[in-house]
Amino acid sequence: MPSGFDASEFFELFVEEARELIQSLDEAVIALEHQPQDSSLIEQIFRAAHSLKASAASQGLEQMSHISHAMENVFDLIRNSRLQANAELVDLLLRGVDALKEHLGSAIGGQVAPDHGELLTLLQDNAAITDTERATEAASAPDQVAPGPPENMEPGPEWEPGTRQITITLDECCSMPLARAWLIIQQLQGLGQVAATSPSLEQLQEADIEFTDIHVYMHFDMDVDTFTDTVQAWPDVTKVTVMADDGDSGDDLLPLKPLERRVGAHDRRQGLPDTRENRVERRSGTPDRRQSAGHGTLRVNVEHMDALMNLVGELVINRTRLTNLTQNLKSCRGGDLAVLSQEFDQVVGKLGMVVTEIQERVMQTRMVPVAQLFGRFPRLIRDVARREDKQVDLVMEGGETELDRSLIEDIVDPLTHLLRNAVSHGLEATDDRHAVGKSSTGTVRLSARQQQNMVVIEVGDDGRGISGEKIAAKAIDKGLLAEQQTAAMSEQQLLEIIFMPGFSTVETVSDVSGRGVGMDVVKANMDKIGGMVEVSSHPGQGTTISLYLPLTLAIIQGLLVVSHQVIFALPLPSVVRILRVEQPDISRVSGRPMIVVEDEALPLVSLSEVSEFQKSSDQDADRVIAVVITDGRQKIGLLVDEVRGNEELVIQPLGEQLKGVRVVNGAAILGDGTVALIADVPMLMRLVSGNERRPAA
């Protein structure tokens, strides 16, 4: 392989596109079942299958390409009103989507792809066109003009009647033009017979080649408008021009080798991953570069990247200024120190501004709309509803709400479990719904919204709801709680028993939702990322599970406080105000200290005591410091010994020694090298309000 061409770049590009195309197919096929006459939706599905067929073929993934091709034919019949998208056909198409996912996973892992011959046959049977129909279509097709081959090329098998000259212009912002051009040429071979390209495949293997357009001579059977629309829809393509060949090919067009025109031939792919040599190396222990293909990529707005480049330039300038100032310090004398000190202050101030803006820009690049997560769930709801023989509508809201990309991956499993539970256990059977006067179609709601420095994602249903009494009886029966304990609990506390390990109200384990995974796992996942889960329910009306998630896990602004010689950081968006409280201002209600702030009575609690580090005597002092914090719904006053001010904190995970401290969900190293513990504000609220059960003594 020529040294200038990195073939893994091409494969990673293929994986990224294939994932998007398959996800697009998954979502669109579900939508097709409800909108079978939506021509724009059908056209979108057709083009996705068509693009996937060509790109899979370019990687030698023949069965993946064949499945895509068969699905493309089915979609073509649907868009021409010759086939109806009923439930049975949608089931078959979704099986095809699942097969494509399996093939892509096998390609990434360098494994043998599963055999889907039976599925392929079923798809082909549904897409079958009779010989009479084919003959009729061929007779009605417009005659092609045969312009003849270019003067500087010998006629050969590549040149067929109807060969056309095509010019494809790439987006000037295309990040990987060599790989993109390679992929486009390979995809074109799935549309017809390619005779020559400029640049050629050989030229694309040279790292220093420059080009703005891809020139192609090829023959294709589809009409020009369809061809143009298809290619125009490919990523990074900004313009497609098709003309009949006039015999002037230009001197730089090179004929493709016949072997290179064979779509799917492994020997054609010079330098591409997954050659026999690569397979041997992987078996010998060499890491498979495909394993990580596509997992570490993130699409970023070009404006963010331009801004980051400008900010990096500012950093370089200020680094140079600091270097010069350091040199001047070495040679300065007493009278110059004041001037140098002033210059240092200016440089440090400028650096602070630049670093802050870089941080904000980088954080923006990490934020993605939750719609990317929500898009996978209509398929899940459909599958579970069909297995449970229920009619379910999924209503999704707030897809534009943004969340840190790393958190998106962390909540996939919890949301999947909650949605499965909502359908299989939350919603009643159709007959039961009729018996209580409900519609036969149940509703599951999936919504997202931002609430201060948290994102709230809710899964709700209009089903049977949860009975606190039934939960208590089940907990007693399982030996999780004693009868005396449940008798002293509020209705909300009874509902939260469902988060205890080992609790379940389902008598039998189903293959849909049981699977040995309970709500305790959902809660554990939320605790792990510094979030919180809550449940609200009304018998006969339904249940809502709310997930409270931090906007990001990376960097926060925190208020540093000291309590019993331990430094805590309170997330700044949660801090309402700081008070000096006199002893006469502290009252007691049912034995609990309270203060009144702006006509609102707030519980008062010592931070060191609630964190269980050590019981504090702060409340006995004549004057105490109270920090009022909120989670957006309620407020409390935290007693602390000292307030040190604000600081920007890079959050680090907790060590094993501190993982048992429930009010702490992270740590940060301060500028002086000491460690601050990040307070878990939602957990503090739960402990103070009594909704979180403390461990038995």
- Using pLDDT thresholds of 50, 70 and 90, give the confidence band for residue 657: low
Mean pLDDT of 128-149: 42
Do 580 and 620 share a domain, yes or no? yes
Contact yes or no for 7/176 (Cβ under 8 A): no
Write out the residue range of the structural domain in which residue 226 sits: 164-279
Residue 255 pairs with which residues in a beta bridge? 196
User: What pLDDT, on a 0 to 100 scale, did the predictor assign at position 537?
Assistant: 92
What burial class does residue 502 get, using C-beta atoms within 10 Å of its C-beta: 0-12 exposed, 13-18 middle, 19+ buried?
Answer: exposed
More confident residue, 329 or 221: 221
Residue 637 pairs with which residues in a beta bridge? 604, 628
Mean pLDDT of 144-160: 40
Angle, CA of 386, 392 and 398, to the nearest 5°: 125
Residue 489 pairs with which residues in a beta bridge? none
Q: What is the tens place of the pLDDT at every residue in 35-54? A: 888 888 888 888 888 888 87
* pLDDT above 60 (res 130): no
State how far the alpha carbon of 433 is from the alpha carbons of 347, 463, 464, 507, 588, in Å: 69, 8, 9, 21, 49
Do 595 and 563 share a domain, yes or no? yes
Do 512 and 433 share a domain, yes or no? yes
Q: Can you tell me the distance from the alpha carbon of 128 to that of 478, in angstroms, rounded to the nearest whole number?
A: 58
Angle between helices 87-109 and 7-34 (to 10 degrees): 170
Q: What's the DSSP call for residue 173?
A: T
Mean pLDDT of 350-368: 78
Q: What's the mean pLDDT when you consider all of the chain?
A: 76
Among the ranges given (340-354, 423-437, 462-476), the one the predictor scored with the smallest mean pLDDT: 340-354
Do 348 and 375 share a domain, yes or no? no
User: What pLDDT, on a 0 to 100 scale, did the predictor assign at position 697?
Assistant: 34
Helix (H, G, I), strand (E, B) or coil at 169: strand
CATH code assigned at 396: 3.30.565.10
Contact yes or no for 450/370 (Cβ under 8 A): no
Helix (H, G, I), strand (E, B) or coil at 608: helix
Confirm whether 491 is domain-assigned.
no
Last residue of a domain, one of 550, 582, 616: 550
Last residue of a domain, one of 248, 279, 310: 279
Mean pLDDT of 267-277: 32
Tokens of 483: 């009868």
Helix (H, G, I), strand (E, B) or coil at 586: coil
Do 98 and 217 share a domain, yes or no? no
Confirm whether 486 is domain-assigned.
no
Q: What is the tens place of the pLDDT at every residue in 163-200? A: 888 999 988 777 667 778 888 888 888 788 888 888 88
Give 335-358 as a DSSP string. GGHHHHHHHHHHHHHHHHHHHHHH
Q: Can you tell me the distance from the alpha carbon of 446 to that of 458, in angstroms, rounded to the nearest whole number?
A: 6
More confident residue, 434 or 306: 434
List the beta strands (DSSP E) in 590-634. 592-597, 600-606, 623-630
- Using pLDDT thresholds of 50, 70 and 90, give the confidence band for residue 517: very low
CATH code assigned at 242: 3.30.70.1110
Do 546 and 409 share a domain, yes or no? yes
Confirm whether 150 is domain-assigned.
no
Mean pLDDT of 608-629: 71
* pLDDT above 90 (res 427): yes
Q: Can you tell me the distance from the alpha carbon of 681 to that of 481, in angstroms, rounded to the nearest whole number?
A: 27
Q: Is the dihedral of CA 507, 512, 513, 515 positive or negative?
A: positive
Tokens of 685: 């609220």
Helix (H, G, I), strand (E, B) or coil at 563: strand
* pLDDT above 50 (res 507): no
Question: Cβ–Cβ contacts within 10 Å for residue 144, how many?
Answer: 15
Do 359 and 407 share a domain, yes or no? no
- Using pLDDT thresholds of 50, 70 and 90, give the confidence band for residue 306: low
Q: Can you tell me the distance from the alpha carbon of 218 to that of 144, in angstroms, rounded to the nearest whole number?
A: 13
Do 569 and 648 share a domain, yes or no? yes
Sheet containing 675-679, strands listed edge to edge, beginning at the edge strand earlier in sequence: 642-650, 555-563, 566-571, 675-679, 664-669
- Using pLDDT thresholds of 50, 70 and 90, give the confidence band for residue 271: very low
The alpha-helical segments, DSSP class H, found in 367-404 are 371-374, 377-388
- Using pLDDT thresholds of 50, 70 and 90, give the confidence band for residue 310: confident
CATH code assigned at 107: 1.20.120.160
Contact yes or no for 170/236 (Cβ under 8 A): yes
* pLDDT above 60 (res 593): yes
Q: How far apart are the first and last CA of the chain?
A: 69
Do 571 and 437 share a domain, yes or no? no
Q: Which amino acid is at 564?
A: H
Helix (H, G, I), strand (E, B) or coil at 392: strand
Confirm whether 295 is domain-assigned.
no
State how far the alpha carbon of 101 is from the alpha carbons of 24, 95, 380, in Å: 12, 10, 15
More confident residue, 82 or 405: 82
Confirm whether 287 is domain-assigned.
no
User: What pLDDT, on a 0 to 100 scale, did the predictor assign at position 137?
Assistant: 43
More confident residue, 541 or 500: 541
Do 194 and 318 share a domain, yes or no? no
* pLDDT above 60 (res 291): no
Last residue of a domain, one of 368, 385, 417: 368
CATH code assigned at 672: 2.40.50.180
The structure tokens 């990001």 sit at: 552
* pLDDT above 70 (res 594): yes
What burial class does residue 422 get, using C-beta atoms within 10 Å of its C-beta: 0-12 exposed, 13-18 middle, 19+ buried?
Answer: buried
Among the ranges given (90-94, 130-134, 295-299, 551-555), the one the predictor scored with the smallest mean pLDDT: 130-134
Among the ranges given (291-300, 355-364, 424-433, 498-507), the one the predictor scored with the smallest mean pLDDT: 291-300
The percent of residues above 70 in pLDDT, for the chain, comes to: 75
Q: Can you tell me the distance from the alpha carbon of 368 to that of 76, in angstroms, rounded to the nearest whole number?
A: 33
Q: How many domains does the chain have?
A: 5
Helix (H, G, I), strand (E, B) or coil at 525: helix
Confirm whether 492 is domain-assigned.
no
Do 94 and 211 share a domain, yes or no? no
The percent of residues above 90 in pLDDT, for the chain, comes to: 18
* pLDDT above 90 (res 418): yes
Do 586 and 679 share a domain, yes or no? yes
Q: Can you tell me the distance from the alpha carbon of 545 to that of 178, in angstroms, rounded to the nearest whole number?
A: 48
Q: Can you tell me the distance from the alpha carbon of 683 to that of 533, in angstroms, rounded to the nearest whole number?
A: 10
User: What pLDDT, on a 0 to 100 scale, did the predictor assign at position 512?
Assistant: 39
Confirm whether 478 is domain-assigned.
no
